[in-house]
Structure 1
Amino acid sequence: MLKSNLKNDKYKDTALLLDYGFKAYQHSTIKQGEIYTTENKEFFPEHDTLITEDVAGCTKKINPDGVLSIENHEGQSIQSIQLKDKEEPKVKIAPIKEGNTKESKTKEKNIQILNSNVFFGLTILALVAAVIGFRKKGASKY
């Protein structure tokens, strides 16, 4: 009746749909501390999450990717929620800063020498290429 031309029919139909929704479904909360396990993995919601459940009962299934699916008694998915993986926090090791040791100074000097050698080598190579180019150009005129 939502396609009806009469406004009153549309309102009645909407009211019936809302009544059905309020009678057939309810809200509940998944608490932040709840743990869900699958295939030796544990997952949890980051914060309290409001979910919609079927009044006749529902099941909560979690897949290996951490998606919690709330299904009604007929097996239809009502809602899906992505949960966080509860893995051990990885310890990050800060790199050790090299002080002004003899080794670090020697490495810096070697890098500077290498950079300057590469620069001069490329410059000489460019000059040789230019000389060869001019010679070929001059030889082709005669």
Structure 2
Amino acid sequence: MPGFHLQDTRAPTRHTTRAATRATTRAATRAAARDAARDTASAATLALLLTRMLMLLLTLLLVVLLVLLLVILLVLLSSATSAGASARTTAGATTSAATSATASTTTSAATRSATTAAARTTTSATTRTATSGTTSTAARNTARASISAVAVSLH
């Protein structure tokens, strides 16, 4: 009769039991592999996330240290600049006073020396001229040189 099936009442054979065991083992192996892959992916994702967070933290620490170093350098530079400016002002005043004193001493000594030399030269040229009775070119040149020396030393 169509549609009427007798139920199989036979006990499972060795063949059917082995096939069922194989199928169950295969399914369990696939599930275990899938779980392991998922766990590995989760671990890799977690490791990547932790690595990125660590790199970000180290970068922020480096930036903070660089800013701190820059601030320290600016403070040292400004204090060195102000100390240098006051030292330069003091040194400048001292140097200016010493230079003025030296310049005036040197100028007066040079003026005296040039004046004395010019007077000697002029006197000797005048004496020679008076002695010889003629004005020589050498005497004129000597007088001009001595006058020029006095003029230069006075300026």
Verify same fold: TM over 0.5. no
Larger radius of gyration: 2
Calculate the TM-score normalised by the size of structure 1: 0.30
Calculate the TM-score normalised by the size of structure 2: 0.27
